[in-house]
Amino acid sequence: MSEKASFGDRVVAAGFAAGWKVVPLLPWRPTAAVFRLLADRVWRRQGKSVRRLESNLARVTGLDVGSKELRELGRAGMRSYFRYFHEVFRLPSMRTEEVVRRTHVIGAEHIHDTVAAGRGVVLALPHMGNWDQAGAWLVGVGHPFATVAERLKPESLFRRYVAFREGLGMEVLPLTGGDGHNFGTLATRVRKGGVVCLPAERDLTKSGIEVRFFGATTKVPAGPPLLAVQTGAALLPASVYFVGDDWGIHIHEEIPVPAEGTRQEKVAAVAQGLADVFEKGISEHPEDWHMMQRLWLDDLDPR
């Protein structure tokens, strides 16, 4: 049984429901300006999420916490984050042809060629840019895929988000509360030559794999590297970012699975390779990295 939703959860759910109904009916530029103003207001308040974002960006960039440069980067980061939500509300009403036309992709051949050869693909993404738009592009160029979604509160918001993503052509599996066979389902999809997309730079559970990331230790999800090791699917890291009013995706080369070693050693090596590529993508577009939670182990409460 799911936990009872708080008043705040219900307000957020109502806001999302209204956003999906109202925002597509209004002109794009005025609504985009409103979301930028909201982002600036949240940034100026310097709440917990903004402070954590700027702290994370300090690790990535080497900028001093509290410096003018880091504050401006934090502002750009909040604008990027709010732009994501603005676009989420508009995506269902956008034509597939427009999404594909306005998406500038580096390395698309890594997906196309691998799938054409009959081999499955695991696309691993950090929380950057508009990952839902990237998914719409992937479906639009002929690669429907499976993914896993965090179970949001309240349940009504989770169902709306699932319906939104399914409407874009994704197969959505709940992270929790499903049949407990997510990994098996994803493995089946890639063994049949399909595509799976998974967020892959934050997992602070007991099953997360420790990696070095921007000079410190964090944990990444075991799923993407484990799928590559166990199924032989190609693990392709992808960076997602904004390009003016359009979108950019950089699909990097496959992370190789070592020929020697135990399964655990292979998974650890692949996870570290993934983290190394994510470092590059985030360093190139730090303002589009939406990490507002604690990430590195030395930032966590010892308890």
Give catalytic residue positions. 127, 201
Residues whose CB is less than 8 angstroms from the CB of residue 285 and which lie 6 or more positions away in sequence, other chains included: 128, 129, 239, 241, 242
Do 172 and 149 meet the contact criterion of CB atoms below 8 Å apart? Answer: yes
Give residue 287's Cα distance to chain centre. 14
Q: Could you give the CA distance from residue 194 to residue 179 in angstroms, rounded to a whole number?
A: 21
Do 234 and 252 meet the contact criterion of CB atoms below 8 Å apart? Answer: no
What token pair was written down for 46? 């310097």
Pairing of strands 234-243, 246-251: antiparallel
Do 226 and 267 meet the contact criterion of CB atoms below 8 Å apart? Answer: yes
Q: Could you give the CA distance from residue 274 to residue 135 in angstroms, rounded to a whole number?
A: 20
Closest of 186, 189, 217 to residue 203, by C-alpha: 217
Residues whose CB is less than 8 angstroms from the CB of residue 67 and which lie 6 or more positions away in sequence, other chains included: none
Closest of 83, 138, 154 to residue 251, by C-alpha: 138
Dihedral sign (CA 72, 74, 79, 80) = positive
